[in-house]
Amino acid sequence: MNSPSEAGTDHTDPVLGTIMAERRQLIGVAYRLLGSMADAEDVVQETYARWYAMTPHQQDAVESPGAWLTKVAGRICLDQLRSARVRRESYVGQWLPEPLPGRPEWLDAYPGDGTAADPVDRVTLDESVTMAFLVVLDSMTPAERVSFVLHDVFRYPFAEVAEIVGRTPAACRQLASSARRRIDGPRANATPESRRAGLVRDFQRAWEAQDIEALIGLLAPDATAIGDGGGLVNAALLPVEGSERIARYLVELLERVPGLTVSQHTVNTQPGLTAHLDGVTVAVFAFDVEDGRIKRIWAVRNPQKLRSWPTRASSAHTSAHTTARPTEPS
């Protein structure tokens, strides 16, 4: 499939250029709705397949190809969200959204004219892709999630959202309002990025020094750490709770895995850490900060969710991605 920039150079088919230019927008919507880049790419592929399954006459009858593509992608995502709860029942351990490195360019992908009804209580696109935000989104019903993301994040009017969700605009407004109440708590606890970066840096140093007391001091007493190994690599099946248990668990991890190195990295637009073994990224850590301390740690170990992360060496893929039974925290 062509990239938006490649599509933009096509001067022979203006419609092709128009619909391919929507790809970044569609990926941005689908990732926020599904929490998985792989699934988002599949949704966009299916969306374009449905467009090209139409006859030229049917395509010509579409007044706004961009709006049509978003509507179709939204409906596919809605169907996937409804079936995801069934699939999650067979998922081994905790499920976390797929982390992404840095600040992907599609974070800036707003809909065409950027207008919508009720422009209050908007969230920024950067904010809408943080791990904390995606975790809260995952707790919503499929209809809540679609209504909230399309309206509050991407600024689609409720009349258009209603066509995707299959409910009235008033019902979608209520769904978005319900979702917004879940989001407002985490947003109220927002910590300046410089403070977050400092905490993550201090956390890395304390972890590398295996300084349990320093780690405990950086963590909230009731902190929680959640790992996602997907049954493919070692990861705690249940959340590790409490600052002391988390600190000891992390220090023991370094002792169990010789050669593991930790480095700072931007994770979903916010300060985070990555763990490497023989040059391969084997874990990505995202953090949530409240009242000056680390409140939550999300550690993604599932190698299927780390495909976007760089590999520093071609060796040791076997040791990094070896299938292993999940472990419980002691």
Calculate mean pLDDT across residues 238-262: 95
pLDDT value, residue 187 = 60
Calculate mean pLDDT across residues 143-172: 96
pLDDT value, residue 9 = 41
pLDDT at residue 260 greater than cutoff 80: yes
pLDDT value, residue 253 = 93
> Residue 295 phi/psi, 5° resolution?
-95, -35
pLDDT single digits (tens) 211-241: 999 999 999 999 999 999 999 998 889 999 9
Q: Which domains does the chain have, with CATH numbers?
A: 13-188 (no CATH), 193-320 (3.10.450.50)
pLDDT single digits (tens) 25-69: 999 999 999 999 999 999 999 999 999 999 999 999 999 999 999
Burial class for 115, CB neighbours closer than 10 Å (0-12, 13-18, 19+): exposed
Task: Please enumerate, as own/partner, the contacts of 156-164 that have beta carbons within 8 Å and a separation of 24 or more.
Answer: 156/70, 156/111, 156/116, 157/116, 157/117, 158/117, 158/118, 159/117, 160/67, 160/71, 163/71, 164/70, 164/71, 164/74, 164/75, 164/78
Q: If you average pLDDT over every residue of the chain, what do you get?
A: 85
pLDDT at residue 171 greater than cutoff 50: yes
Residue 51 · residue 69 · CB < 8 Å: yes
Name the pTM for this structure. 0.84
Whole-angstrom distance, CA of residue 73 vs CA of residue 149: 13
Q: What is the DSSP letter of 279?
A: T
Q: Comparing 194 with 30, which gets the higher pLDDT?
A: 30
pLDDT value, residue 10 = 44
Range of weakest confidence among 78-87, 129-138, 275-284: 78-87
Q: In 3-state terms, what secondary structure has residue 120?
A: coil
pLDDT value, residue 20 = 80
User: In the numeric block, which tokens belong to residue 179?
Assistant: 């979702």
pLDDT value, residue 329 = 42
Whole-angstrom distance, CA of residue 289 vs CA of residue 186: 10
Closest CA to 168 of 182, 178, 180, 158: 158
pLDDT at residue 328 greater than cutoff 50: no
Range of weakest confidence among 57-61, 88-92, 151-155, 258-262: 88-92
Closest CA to 130 of 267, 17, 264: 267
Residue 293 · residue 92 · CB < 8 Å: no
Whole-angstrom distance, CA of residue 147 vs CA of residue 144: 5
pLDDT at residue 319 greater than cutoff 50: no
pLDDT at residue 330 greater than cutoff 50: no
Q: Residue 12 — pLDDT band, cuts 50, 70, 90?
A: low
Calculate mean pLDDT across residues 192-214: 95
User: In the numeric block, which tokens belong to residue 327?
Assistant: 């472990």
